[in-house]
Chain A
């Protein structure tokens, strides 16, 4: 392995970028915490937010780590680590790097040994995702103001505001539910079929069960963890089904 991809210099860049992200996150948490106290949110509510967010993040973060490791075979471990710590996402980094490497007549299946190719991949990954960082400072305030106005208008009918708010949540989640029912991935891994539907149904069922248990036995402390626990249960179900169900059934997809 050419060590320019994993040199001390690269680790130095990684520490710089990751340090920036951590400091920004701490800054916003402290400001929000202070404001939360001012507007009467209890310490317990905010602490529960911290605990449940940590628990919630573990599984997806391990999944993100997988992407880092997958990309590491071609790009070394440091550049994917930097990219997935800031702004990057699971799908984008793979597509961006593969596209650049294809132009250069290479592929993610092969290790990059040419520093110029490595630099080119770093540029394409960066430029492709930078646009959102230009849009957000320009339009975030305007969008927030318009939404705020709309909400305050409809607060004369508080029910409408509640319905729109719930519908917006549901609209986002619905896209992923639909994808689990009948979606296809670009790389063919995780296409909708037997496994995706069973995982989805398990997650919903365990979540509803835990919700009922919390209500019936007044388990207030369990409430924030019901969602991550349901997610882990569903992931466990995917593992078990893959082991016990015949391969032609477990491997069934619509595609």
Chain B
């Protein structure tokens, strides 16, 4: 028990240090660009754009931190929020890895598997982006161009990804699955372009609330 706490404590210390480091690295990018090019943008222009961007993304950031942190585990959370693409890549990758390894989120085994999975995913993404940018960008432009024969594969990548990921869960827990999907569809009927982060928050509450209610009613 003592060793378990020590590991988690260490993860939080490492995570905080790396995240602060990442923040500095991130802020150094526009600073270095402006210093190198000897240009500084008009602050009122930047604020005008931020007035639109911040309410959109800072609110989502709060929801994402609250939603993903318990699911990903500590190490994977620190890593995911630095490496990005959480919803469309890191989260499903981690869920898939934990499902394959038959470990539960919030267990120490889940913490380890999730961290390895997200770390490997981040490195793989970095390699693919680097190779793609340096070597294959002309080919990829053709491959993903809207007129390309392969374009629909990338347009519908999210239904493909989450359908494949969800199938096993839906089969095993079909009673729990129906309610949050219905709730999600109903919300989209009223707000069809609702941001994924906000929609997830709603379906997550529906899924957990619905499951606990069904258990109380002895339906599951």
Contact = CB atoms under 8 A, between A and B. Distances in A.
A192 B65 CA distance: 27
A58 interface: yes
Q: Interface residues of B: mostly helix, strand, loop or mixed?
A: helix
Given A168-B70, A234-B164, A49 B62 contact: no
A208 to B, nearest CB: 5
Given A28-B119, A66-B144, A86 B83 contact: yes
Nearest to A172: B200
A174 B115 CA distance: 23
Interface residues of A, number: 155
B84 A84 contact: yes
B207 A174 contact: yes
A46 B113 contact: yes
A137 B16 contact: yes
Given A22-B123, A81-B129, A164-B208, A179 B196 contact: yes
Interface string A49-75: 110111011111111111011001000
B29 A126 contact: yes
Q: Interface residues of A: mostly helix, strand, loop or mixed?
A: helix
A53 B200 contact: no
A25 B49 contact: no
Contacts of B207: 167-168, 170-171, 174
A116 B19 contact: no
A7 B7 CA distance: 43
Contacts of B168: 207-208, 211, 227
A117 B34 CA distance: 10
